[in-house]
Amino acid sequence: MAVISGCFSYSAVHFPLPSSSAPSSRLSVRTRSSGSSASMDSGDELRAKFMEFPHVSAPHRDLMVELLSSVETRLGSSLQPCTLPPDVQYFGNPSGSASASLQLRPGLPSSQIDLILGGWIHCKLPSGGALNITSLSAYLKPSTDAPHFLLDLIQSSPTSLVLILDLTPRKDLILHPDHLKTYYEDTQLDRHRQRLHTLPEVRPYFSPSLYVRALLSPTAILVTIDVGASETTNIEEIIRDHVGPVAKELLQFWIESCACPERHVEESERAYLAERDRIIKNTTIEVDLGSSFPRLFGQDVADRVLTVLKEHYNK
């Protein structure tokens, strides 16, 4: 599983997922009363539930909260409130073995930000363990050709995880060497990957999906972190001391150098960027999520969530 370009994609990392054979039903979301105040209260409650990241360790949760808080502090004035329905902000499968929370905030019309999506998924595995995924993704509008942002933390055991972290390019870096130089070479972005690879617990992760490999940049961080039976370190320490600093530095760079500066993009180029982004978004939903969400949450819940995401992605 991996989160690719703004939502959860399950083709990048393979884990045995449960098959949802029970009839689908909606996971209820409580509201205290009717009217606008109830909607506001419900939105606050759902946001708070999302920010709990209830199934991961404290360092993992603290990292996600800090990243989302940085986005809110620096970019919040450029974003609209979450517009997802309550039963898409929080949902689960009929048996209770899988649950998820999503928060999607579109950019204001005057902003270069298209949308920012954060999410978590928790799923009990047939082996008796659990799969936990946390994600933060950000799209920019075709008014800029700066890269998007992508972070995945995918943990299927107490001792190992897969990290996917990248500024995903908007252009072919061979045809546009200036793009490669501006965002990846002159900035020495590869130092973050090199930093993690100095750790003995870190090894390269190679996605089985050629689509995923084609989507990511040459400085993308795709690693497996496995502490095994080590008595001197644990996965929580690596998240706190190594993964966290790298993720925070990369997000700060994306905010300051990609999301905020205005870039002049010709109208013909904007059409190219818009079409490229549209293809990536729809591929994520139709191919990746369309195959995994029904197994996790049942067909009815999957259809509801994916239909709403597709509507938001194609606005």
Q: How confident is the model at residue 16 (pLDDT cuts 50, 70, 90)?
A: low
Residues 6+ apart with CB under 8 A from 264: none
- 38 falls in which pLDDT band (50, 70, 90)? very low
Instruction: State the DSSP string of 226-273.
Output: E-TT-SS--HHHHIIIIIHHHHHHHHHHHIIIIISS-----HHHHHHH
Name which of 13-22, 40-49, 133-142 the model is least confident about.
13-22
Task: Count CA atoms closer than 13 A to 21's CA, side-chain side.
Answer: 2
Q: What mean pLDDT is predicted for residues 14-38? A: 42
**Residue 23 within a domain:** no
**Does a structural domain hold residue 113?**
yes
Establish if 224 belongs to a structural domain. yes
71-84 pLDDT per residue, tens: 999 999 999 999 89
Domain-located, residue 30: no
Residue 51 lies in a domain: no
Total domains, the chain: 1
Above 80 in pLDDT, residue 69? yes
Q: In this predicted model, what pLDDT tens digit does every residue of 285-303 receive, in sequence order?
A: 887 788 889 989 999 999 9
Identify the band that residue 124 occupies on the pLDDT scale cut at 50, 70 and 90.
Answer: very high
**What residues does 132 pair with on adjacent strands?**
122, 155
- Is residue 287 helix, strand or coil? helix
Q: Is the pLDDT of residue 7 over 70?
A: no
Specify the pLDDT at position 275.
Answer: 94
Strand partners, 134: 120, 153
- pLDDT of 181 above 70: yes
For residues 97 and 32, the model is more confident at 97
Give the residue numbers spanning the domain of 86. 2-18+56-313
Does the pLDDT value for residue 230 go beyond 80? no
pTM of the entire predicted model: 0.88
In a domain, 46, yes or no: no
∠ CA(251), CA(61), CA(193), 5° rounding? Answer: 40
- The answer to whether position 85 is within a domain reads yes
For position 299, which CATH number holds?
3.40.1500.20
Whether residue 31 is predicted with pLDDT greater than 50 in this model: the reply is no
- What pLDDT does residue 35 have? 37
> What does the angle CA 268 – CA 270 – CA 276 come to, to the nearest 5 degrees?
110
User: 131 lies in a domain?
Assistant: yes
CA 108-110-112 angle, to 5 degrees, is 80
